[in-house]
Structure formats: C-alpha cells, structure tokens
C-alpha cells in the first residue's frame, strides 16, 4: 500500500485517512520519524499507555497494589488528620 503526501510551506504533511483509521490516530497524537541506515524515513505512531499499563510499570516486588481512588481516599484522610492537629505521630 502506497500513499503520497505533499510537504507544505511549513514542512507539514498529512497522514492519509486510511492510515489514520487503521492506526487509530487522532488530533494531538504523536508520531516518531526514524531515519534508517538504508536512507528511508519511517513514521511510527507513539502509543499512549493507559493508566493500568503505567501502574504495572511502577509496581515493585513486595509493594501492594492500591487502586488510585483508594490511594487518594487514604491520602485525603491522612491529610485531614494532620491538618486537624489530631495526629500525634507527626507533631
């Protein structure tokens, strides 16, 4: 499959509709340009990772996984205790 785009006066190109649909590209998405040893320019879509995928990369052995909402609730409770002056451990 071959598609041709024209470089504009601002050095921009349009990614053809068929390729945008096939790769799920949307406005604001990023692509990477790679120059190969053969002198070719290859365009790679940069995939956005979901929060779930990113959470897995942060997990360390022995550290329990806590869902974001639960972690936020615990943090808000702890902050409320500290701000109220009822936390004797942090005075």
Q: In CATH, what number is assigned to the domain containing residue 31?
A: 2.10.260.10
Residues linked to residue 32 through DSSP beta bridges, in sequence order: 44
Name the 3-class secondary structure at 88: helix
Is there a single domain that holds both residue 44 and residue 55?
no
Cα distance between residue 85 and residue 52, in whole Å: 36
- DSSP state at residue 28: T
The whole-number pLDDT of residue 82 equals: 83
Same domain, 21 and 37: yes
Are both 57 and 16 inside the same structural domain?
Answer: no
Residues 6+ apart with CB under 8 A from 8: none
Report the domain count for the chain: 2
Domain match, 25 and 56 both: no
Q: How confident is the model at residue 60 (pLDDT cuts 50, 70, 90)?
A: low
Highest mean pLDDT among 13-17, 54-58, 61-65, 84-88: 13-17
Do both 42 and 24 map to the same domain? yes
Domain with 56, as residue range(s), is: 51-90
Nearest to 31 by CA among 18, 16, 42, 17: 42
């Amino acid at each position: 499959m071959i598609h041709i785009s024209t470089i504009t006066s601002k050095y921009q190109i349009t990614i053809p509709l068929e390729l945008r649909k096939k790769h799920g590209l949307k406005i604001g998405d990023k692509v990477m340009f790679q120059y190969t040893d053969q002198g070719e320019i290859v365009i790679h879509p940069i995939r956005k990772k979901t929060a779930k995928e990113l959470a897995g990369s942060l997990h360390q052995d022995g550290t329990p996984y806590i869902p974001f909402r639960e972690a936020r609730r615990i943090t808000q409770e702890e902050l409320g205790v500290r701000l109220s002056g009822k936390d004797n451990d942090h005075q």
